[in-house]
Amino acid sequence: MPVITAKPCTLILFGALGDLALRKLFPALYQLDRAGLLHADTRIVCLARDQGEPSTHLAFIDDWMHRYIPVMDLDGEVLERFRQRLSYISMEFAKPEDYAALVAEVGDADTLIAYFATPAFVYGPICANLAACGLAEKTRVVLEKPIGHDLESSRKINDAVAAHFPESQIYRIDHYLGKETVQNLIALRFANSLFETQWNQHHISHVEITVAEVVGIEGRWGYFDQAGQLRDMIQNHLLQLLCLIAMDPPSDLSADSIRDEKVKVLKALAPITPEHMSREVVRGQYVAGSSAGKPVPGYLEEDNANQQSDTETYVAVRAEIRNWRWSGVPFYLRTGKRMPQKLSQIVIHFKESSHYIFAPEQRPLVSNRLIIRLQPDEGISLQVMTKDQGLDKGMQLRSGPLQLNFSETYKAARIPDAYERLLLEVTQGNQYLFVRKDEVEHAWLWCDQLIAGWKQLGDPPKPYAAGSWGPMAAMALITRDGRSWYGDL
């Protein structure tokens, strides 16, 4: 992949005063500017419904940037340059007549990037209006998740966008694909023949993917209760990680070669029928407990909670991929809110060698594991067996890590936020870190059957105490196979 250089473009940001824009997008754009990766001519047009003086809204954005950009990264000169790039237009996104002001502002730009930091139901109307005012041809549209809440609704949204934009101009964000370690997965797998020869059912016994968060719902009850952890996290982030681990080597690094391979994985995911749901899927909901040593309320006691809600805040699934490479290798996925720590990691467990020559009592010592940590402390560690040092130790084995800790190794280099990478790739017109329509649809297809199964069974989610690793049933899901979740205390 060539080293990235800046290209000029104008970014039009729908929903510029919303949470995502304020917390993630402006800080990310600022960091790109600071790194010299925004072209001198790049402009950012902020769009929101709020009326009033543009300068007031721009000052508000500036204020939030000071909250979300680390103090040591705030540079007066860069801030001033960044401010000069911004302008603000108040508009109703669904009203065609409101687009005249936008055309007047950006009509002369060669390349436009329209970022939709809005609810998905307005994607269609915005696209229609961009097309009607003649801007569609030169525009790349960036869509945030969630795209719909099931296959049918996602198709409707995707079709409404596709009515005006070809797939080559559509960038569907899954911010996990912008995380450095996730991209490193591609390098690790395909730049090291050592791993690729071992990457199959002959050598790997099982795979774990954990995405745990300490936070609860944080004032997002309205959105989250409609979605739940399956739609919010598994349908996108965890299935994307699974795809990157399980896919066959693409023929090249082009967006479509990578995405073709990911789609094959999604298509090969074994369905889980309602009869098998109780053994292979666990849904949980947190009850009051403690977090960082402080008592915290349960999900149903959060602000504005519907006390009858049976929305899950935790999911564990034992997934299987039906193909030659992975037949018989379970992929255990789990993700939850209000877990003991923020942790996103993938653990690849390699099989033991078939003939064991060491003392039998040492056999339970686990052999090779590859641990890929996305957060915190991004890094990769390979657990290998070595001999204990010392004359008195004989052939006493121990398991220790061969470690590559990115935050330590690249101390001087800041690890960029996922949105920085993704925004940069859009400005370059690279789609390989974005999700294609058929990926979204196949992911929904698999999740929809789980949701339908839950509905059919009618079981409520299993309670777990805030600050724990989830319901007991999630332990049983893996111990039943004679295994345990890596690192759980």
Q: Is 7 marked as a binding-site residue?
A: no
What is the smallest separation between the CB atom of 232 and ligand BG6, expressed in angstroms? 5
CB atoms within 10 A of CB 208: 22
Give the residue with the Cβ less far from ligand BG6, 33 or 213. 213
Within 8 A by CB and 6+ apart from 201, the residues are 324, 325, 326, 327, 328, 329
How far is CA 241 from each of CA 165, 180, 262, 422, rounded to the nearest angstrom?
A: 27, 13, 10, 16
* Residue 334, helix vs strand vs coil: strand
Instruction: Give the residue with the Cβ less far from ligand BG6, 232 or 420.
Output: 232
Q: Which residues contact 369 (CB under 8 A, 6 or more apart)?
A: 347, 348, 349, 350, 382, 383, 486
Distance between CA 175 and CA 24 in Å, rounded? 11
Q: State yes or no: residue 420 binds ligand BG6 (CB under 6 A).
A: no
Shortest Å distance, C-beta 382 to ligand BG6: 24
Instruction: Confirm whether 164 is a catalytic residue.
Output: no
Contact 34, 75 (CB under 8 A): yes
Q: Which of residues 150-179 bind ligand BG6 (CB under 6 A)?
A: none
| Residue 312 sits in the site that holds ligand BG6 (CB under 6 A) | no
Pattern of binders to ligand BG6 over 327-366, x per CB under 6 A?
Answer: -----------------x----------------------
Q: How many residues bind ligand BG6 (CB under 6 A)?
A: 3
**CA–CA separation, 154 vs 86, rounded Å?**
32
For ligand BG6, give the closer residue by CB, 199 or 419. Answer: 419
Q: Indicate the residue among 208 and 232 with the shorter CB distance to ligand BG6.
A: 232
User: By CB under 6 A, is residue 213 in contact with ligand BG6?
Assistant: yes
Among 232, 420, 425, 439, which residue sits at the site for ligand BG6 (rule: CB under 6 A)?
232
Does 145 carry a binding-site annotation? yes
Q: How far apart are CA 233 and CA 211, in angstroms?
A: 8
C-alpha to C-alpha distance for 208 and 485, rounded to whole angstroms: 7
Q: Are 346 and 371 in contact (CB under 8 A)?
A: yes
The answer to whether 116 and 126 have CB atoms below 8 angstroms apart is: yes
Active-site option among 149, 164, 206, 237: 237
Closest separation in Å from C-beta 377 to ligand BG6: 14
Nearer to ligand BG6, 109 or 347 (CB): 347
Residue of closest CB approach to ligand BG6: 232
Residues at the site binding ligand BG6, with contacts judged by CB under 6 A: 213, 232, 344
The set of catalytic residues is 237
Annotated binding site for NADP(+): which residue ranges?
49, 92-93, 145
